[in-house]
């Protein structure tokens, strides 16, 4: 197993990208006020995250939660060093988004034909054509593009999705000029050796393209998959604060991997994420109030590894009893 | 990263040991009937687990939940190939347990002085003396001994526990004849590279002694830690069905790693555990009823990776629309 940092080697730089405000909120039912979204993005901007997926320029009818995409993008404060990305599904989305241009457009399609039909209501071939059109317009506007490939590790309806299908879709977009691809474990079907193998194959085939891993914790393997990817050289991770969200279209799907839990593990593994874990945990504690329900994040509940607990009084008593004979107290006192 | 199974290599044998009926139940408040315990152990015995921690011969006053240890051990069916282990804290426990001798005695102490005082109300030195006495009696009776070392990866009150302290305690018991040691992450402080390093150091120092890893999922890293251990050559894992239990003495502690979630990951990683995952999931589904509350196991909720979901009707409609032009339908039908 390759260690990411051993001895005197410099710690590995890892880029953390939070998707709670788009991928997470999209799965919520109760509308979150625009003011609250803006304030939350502004707070996240000060945690040291590398990238924030702010919103989605989909049709307000399709996703009412994110109908205020224009206003949110106009009002958030752009903190230098943080990239602000938005999802755009089509040319209309790009045109809307360009009014307050983000640092990146995130495009989405699925590697599974069935999932693409269920989720986007078109074939994969039609999605490819549409996204290439979006890419041409983005290039004209000078906004770089990332493509998120859903179901890269399996489809909840079809089952296995061959690695070649995933890599060929990645090739289509990388060759058309995408800066990078996100391999998405949309419904938590990925397992560690699969993650390592696919990420490794991607990096060998596209050595100059960015690679992001987007994992879910649906079957408990979220951080194990992130670890496997880390050791395969992956240095960019999507995650969702508090573990907010999932995929509303994929049956049975729950749980984006939790940003603060991932950041906590990466710090322990010696990675340099630039994230201020205290600030991130503060945001995570606020998020439950924003969406009005409990969230699956675990470090928020248990505290960081070295957040110590007070020593109970019984310990001093037990210690006193233990040393009593040495102190010359009567034997009965033991 | 060493793969545990690649190409034509034989899959790695991994031994899964369930602790729900002892470590898990111990943390529960409502008494589980003896009949139910016996039936549950008998069901677990048919899932292919390598070892089951059945109960604890502690004082019934200290742990009323396990006051029926004698009766449970007398009534369970011993399935060939399954090892039945019990916790014994002292000579009195051994004497009680020997009436229906188990296949192994599990002894416990903590590597942290403060935690040992809080948990066992004695110093580590006193625990060592007491456990060596238990080992002498066990050897006379011909029952092998395993020693579980709590707080091997950190103490919730002291913080870091040096690896040397853990390994020196292991040495004390291995040299006195223990068949093996369990390194316990009692309150979920372990992280992957720490697990790999400590397990590796143990295996180099005690090449002939068994090594079991006992991890918690308190900070979400349970399966990531198991993965790191697997890749460091560890082939025995404690886990608790449904994730039942924790440590009632360590503040903030929650969540043994979940046996069925671990078995699910190990199977995907190509390990040969001998476990029938369907049978294990059946047991996990029953366990919530036995203890009367929800459990954190995730595969029970999401299904196994390839438990597929039905294709929604919208997919056929979307596919029909997509092929309509080719079938000569009017362009508007697109």
Answer yes or no: is the ipTM higher than 0.85. yes
**Residue in chain A nearest B250 by alpha carbon:** A309
Would you place residue B27 in the very low, low, confident or very high pLDDT band (cuts 50, 70, 90)? confident
Helix H or strand E segment including B184: strand B180-184
Q: Which CATH class is domain A15-306?
A: alpha beta
Nearest of B3, B217, B218, A6 to residue B226 by alpha carbon: B217
Return the residue of B nearest to A190 by Cα: B305
Mutate to test the interface with B, among A121, A124, A221, A228 (most CBs of B within 10 A): A221
Chain A residue whose CA is closest to B221: A223
Check if the beta carbon of residue A73 is closer than 8 Å to that of residue A66: no
CB atoms closer than 10 angstroms to residue B334: 10
- Mean pLDDT is lowest, of A16-25, A207-216, B140-149, B254-263, for B254-263
Cβ of B220 and A219 within 8 Å?
A: no
Q: Do A123 and B322 touch (CB under 8 A)?
A: yes
Taking residue B142's Cβ as centre, other Cβ atoms within 10 Å add up to 8
Of A218, A270, A302, Cβ closest to residue B219: A302
Chain A residue numbers with beta carbons less than 8 Å from the beta carbon of B194 are 268
Contacting residues of B for A118, CB less than 8 Å apart: 311-312, 314-315, 318
Residue B1 has pLDDT above 50, yes or no: no
Partners of B222 on chain A (C-beta within 8 Å) are: 220
Please give the share of chain B, as a percent, with pLDDT higher than 90: 87
Q: What DSSP string describes B103-119?
A: SEEEEEEESSHHHHHHH
pTM for the model: 0.94
Per-residue confidence band for B4, with pLDDT thresholds at 50, 70 and 90: very low
Among residues B199, B247, B271, B283, the one annotated as catalytic is B247
CB atoms within 10 A of CB A309: 16
SS3 content of chain A, % helix, strand, coil (to 5): 45, 15, 40
Per the CB < 8 A criterion, the answer to whether A258 and A243 are in contact is yes
**Are B252 and A309 a contacting pair at CB < 8 A?**
yes
* A110 contacts: CB under 8 Å, gap ≥ 6: A116, A119, A120, A124, A127, A149, A150, A151, A155, A186
Q: Given the residues A151, A247, A258, A283, select the one marked as catalytic.
A: A247
Task: Please give the residue of chain B at the shortest CA–CA distance from A321.
Answer: B122
Residues of B in contact with A319 (CB under 8 A): 117, 123
The pLDDT of residue B254: 63
Q: Are B279 and B44 in contact (CB under 8 A)?
A: no
Q: What is the per-residue pLDDT across B73-91, written as a single tens digit (0 to 9) for each?
A: 999 999 999 999 999 999 9
C-alpha to C-alpha distances, A102 to A69, A107, A128, A170, B269, nearest whole angstrom: 11, 13, 22, 22, 40
CA distance A7 to chain B (A): 13
Is B151 considered catalytic here? no
Within 10 angstroms of residue B75's Cβ, the number of other Cβ atoms is 16
Q: Which residues in chain A touch residue B265, judged by CB atoms under 8 angstroms apart?
A: 191-192, 219-221, 224
Q: Among candidates B176, B117, B112, B189, which has minimal Cα distance to B149?
A: B112
Question: Of the candidates B1, B189, B258, which has its C-beta nearest A305's C-beta?
Answer: B189
The mean per-residue pLDDT over the stretch A162-188 comes to: 97
> Which among A214, A189, A187 is positioned nearest to A199, based on CA atoms?
A214
Cβ contacts (< 8 Å) between A268 and chain B: which residues? 191-194
The verdict on a CB contact (< 8 Å) between B252 and A302 is yes
Q: How close is the nearest chain A Cα to the Cα of B142, in Å?
A: 32
Tally Cβ neighbours within 10 Å of residue B9.
10
| A145 vs A141: CA distance, rounded Å | 11
Quickly tell me which residue has 């788009």 as its tokens.
Answer: A22
Nearest CB to B261 within list A4, A192, A220:
A220
Q: Which residues of A155-170 are buried (b: 16+ CB within 10 A; e: fewer)?
A: bbbbeebebebbbebb
Topology (CATH level 3) of domain B15-308? TIM Barrel (3.20.20)
What is the Cα–Cα distance from B236 to B49, expressed in whole angstroms?
A: 11
Of the residues A254, A302, A310, the best mutation for testing chain B's interface (the one with the most B CB atoms within 10 Å of its CB) is A302
Torsion of the alpha carbons at A192, A198, A200 and A201, rounded to the nearest 10: 160
The predicted structure's pLDDT at residue A179: 98
Tell me: the pLDDT tens digits for A284-301? 999 999 999 989 899 999
CA distance A128 to A178: 13
Does residue A88 sit in helix, strand or coil? coil
User: A68 CB contacts (<8 Å, ≥6 apart)?
Assistant: A34, A37, A55
* Facing residue for B322 by CB, picked from A122, A220, A302: A122
Mutate to test the interface with A, among B2, B194, B227, B312 (most CBs of A within 10 A): B227
Vertex A225: Cα angle to A224 and A227 (nearest 5) = 65
Instruction: Say whether pLDDT at A64 is over 80.
Output: yes
Share of chain A above pLDDT 90, in %: 87
pLDDT at B6 over 90: no
Q: What mean pLDDT is reported for chain B?
A: 92
In Å, how far from its chain's centre is CA B259? 6
Beta-bridged to residue A210, according to DSSP, are A180
pLDDT of residue A325: 56
Q: What is the mean pLDDT of residues A90-106?
A: 97
Q: How many CB atoms lie within 10 A of CB A4?
A: 21
Does B227 sit within 8 Å of A298, measured CB to CB?
A: no
Least-confidence region, from A44-53, A109-118, A321-330, B260-269: A321-330
Report the C-alpha gap between A200 and B71 in whole angstroms.
Answer: 54
Distances (CA, A) of B330 to A121, B315, B321, B324, B326: 19, 21, 11, 8, 10
> pLDDT at residue B3 above 70?
no
Q: Which pLDDT does position A254 carry in this prediction?
A: 63
Confidence of residue A332 (pLDDT cuts 50, 70, 90): very low
- Say whether pLDDT at A251 is over 70: no
Residues B28-33, mean pLDDT to the nearest whole number = 94
């Amino acid at each position: 197993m390759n260690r990411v940092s051993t001895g005197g080697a410099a710690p590995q730089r890892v880029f953390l990208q939070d998707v709670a405000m788009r991928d997470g909120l999209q799965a919520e039912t109760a509308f979150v006020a625009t003011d609250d979204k803006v304030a939350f993005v502004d707070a996240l901007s000060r945690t040291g995250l590398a990238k924030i997926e702010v919103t989605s320029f989909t049709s307000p009818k399709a996703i009412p939660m994110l109908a205020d995409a224009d206003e949110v993008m106009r009002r958030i404060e752009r903190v230098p060093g943080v990239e602000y990305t938005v999802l755009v599904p089509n040319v209309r989305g790009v045109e809307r988004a360009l009014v307050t241009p983000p640092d990146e457009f995130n495009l989405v399609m699925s590697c599974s034909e069935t999932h693409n039909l269920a989720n986007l209501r078109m074939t994969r071939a039609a999605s490819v054509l549409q996204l290439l059109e979006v890419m041409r317009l983005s290039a004209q506007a000078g906004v770089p593009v990332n493509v998120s490939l859903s179901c890269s590790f399996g489809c909840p309806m079809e089952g296995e999705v061959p690695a070649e299908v995933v890599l060929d879709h990645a090739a289509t977009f990388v060759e058309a000029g995408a800066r990078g691809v996100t391999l998405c474990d949309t419904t938590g079907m990925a397992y560690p050796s699969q993650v390592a193998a696919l990420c490794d194959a991607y990096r060998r085939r596209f050595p100059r393209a960015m690679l992001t891993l987007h994992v879910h914790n649906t079957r408990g393997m979220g951080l194990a998959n992130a670890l496997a990817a880390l050791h395969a050289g992956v240095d960019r991770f999507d995650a969702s604060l508090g573990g907010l969200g999932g995929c509303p279209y994929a049956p049975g799907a729950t749980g984006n991997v939790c940003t603060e839990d991932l950041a906590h593990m990466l710090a322990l593994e010696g990675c340099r994420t630039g994230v201020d874990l205290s600030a991130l945990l503060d945001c995570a504690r606020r998020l439950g109030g924003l969406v009005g329900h409990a969230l699956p994040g675990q470090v928020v509940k248990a505290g960081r590894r070295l957040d110590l607990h007070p020593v109970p009084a019984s310990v001093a008593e037990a210690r006193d009893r233990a040393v009593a004979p040495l102190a010359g107290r009567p034997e009965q006192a033991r």
